[in-house]
Amino acid sequence: MAPKFSQVLSVTRQAPELIVPARPTPRELKQLSDIDDQESFRSQPRKLMVDCNGEGILFLEAEANFKLEQLGGAIQSPCPYLEQLTYNVPGSEGILGCPLLLIQVTRLMCGGFTLAIRFNHTMCDASGLVQFVKTIEEMARGANTLSIFPVWQWERLCARNPPQVTSVHLEYEEINNNSDTFITTNPNEMDHKSFYFGPKEVRVLKNQLPLHLRNCSTFELLAACMWRCRTIALQLDPKDTVQFSCLVTARAKDYKMDIPSGYYGNAVAFPAVHSKVGALCNNPLGYAVALVKKAKAEMSEEHIRSAADLMEVKGRRPRHAIKGNYIVSDLSKVGFDRIDLGWGKPVFAGIAGAKSIFSFLNRYQKEDGETGTLIPIRLPGPSMKRFEEELKRMIQGSTEDLFDITETRKIACKL
């Protein structure tokens, strides 16, 4: 249950308005890249294009009757007050014929404010969204010119001619896993909770690894831990197969993709690995870490170009696998927490919560100043309890803060 004061918490919104361009813009249709256009980022089939009609983006101003301190830890992911702090304008929830952005700014009684953004994922990835918000930051702080101008250049991530599917793309292949009932669980029976991993928890987990794996990244370590605990908690058939996918950006210089500064489209891939349930659950943590490292190693320039070619070859724009799959994205370094609109750094900045089979790593600073990683996850109620028990067992001697960051609460999987 949410804190008692939520019974009187209220937000008064002004009428939504369209913020239009300051001067006339070209009326044209812009084609999305084949990476943008995959079904993983949307719910409509068929090839999509952007109608540049100059109608603008939706913007709402709102006033709250509470202070930031009253929210306590509830402001971070998963936020139980999301429906008050952002608004789905009727008719704006679809893909076709809808605004690409919706922004709500809510003023708090203490003088602070929340900035909530709902965006169309076919248009940009997390790095692209941060780039957009950084532009808002520069404008809000009086910059005369922008440091980075937006770049379209969708053709950089389109299929080759002719298409050449040269990589194995497990991420788009459904698994024959009959024991995974996660997707069929009633959304109202899902629990949504975040778990905090500070330096102590990371150290405890790394000490469980063999020496040759202790140089793993924090993402590899925590993603492996979450995947293993989640699989144990779901009590799947040991003979069934599960999949781990991670979102890897192609913007890194290592991949030599030459993604220009200012490109805000999706520049990510979902490399994946498989494991038998029994092997993942019964082996030490190092087994899962090695698999996560293997998934990340699949990422290359050729892999993402092959993925773009696969979209073209398949025609129906395949989406990522669902059954038996768990997808983790690292947002702790993209820069949400460094946004400063003139009032200082945010108390919390990141994705509103876990989404279905997705979890996101968010950078988080506790009240005592310690900085760590906050990871939200959705699970059926009984599975969440088993997840916590397994995680407690792995983090021997850790503080209870690992589990007290947010309350467990039942909410629909609709974010």
Would you name the residues annotated as active-site residues?
121, 340
Rounded distance, CA 304 to CA 174, Å? Answer: 19
For the stretch 122-144, what's the b/e string if a residue is b when 16 or more beta carbons lie within 10 angstroms of its beta carbon?
Answer: bbbbbbbbbbbbbbebeeeeeee
CB atoms within 10 A of CB 399: 12
Nearest 5 degrees, angle CA 69-CA 110-CA 117? 80
Rounded distance, CA 389 to CA 291, Å? Answer: 23
Residue with tokens 């910059």: 143
Which backbone phi and psi does 298 adopt, to 5 degrees? -70, -25
| β-pairing verdict for 190-197 and 409-410 | antiparallel
Question: Which residue from 376, 259, 257 is spatially nearest to 306, judged by alpha carbons?
Answer: 257
State CA 135 to chain mean position distance: 21
CA distances from residue 411 to 77, 85, 265 in whole angstroms, order as listed: 13, 16, 30
Which backbone phi and psi does 234 adopt, to 5 degrees? -80, -10
Determine contact, residues 336/364, Cβ cutoff 8 Å.
no
**366, two tokens:** 């506790």
Longest dimension (CA), the chain: 62
Rounded distance, CA 198 to CA 139, Å? Answer: 35
**293, two tokens:** 């490292």
- Phi-psi region at 142: left, alpha or beta (left = phi > 0; alpha = psi -120 to 50): left
Rounded distance, CA 270 to CA 296, Å? Answer: 9
Question: Which residue from 187, 343, 220 is spatially nearest to 287, judged by alpha carbons?
Answer: 220
Burial of residue 154 (number of CB atoms within 10 Å: 0-12, 13-18, 19+): buried
Give me the sign of the Cα torsion angle 23, 25, 27, 29: negative
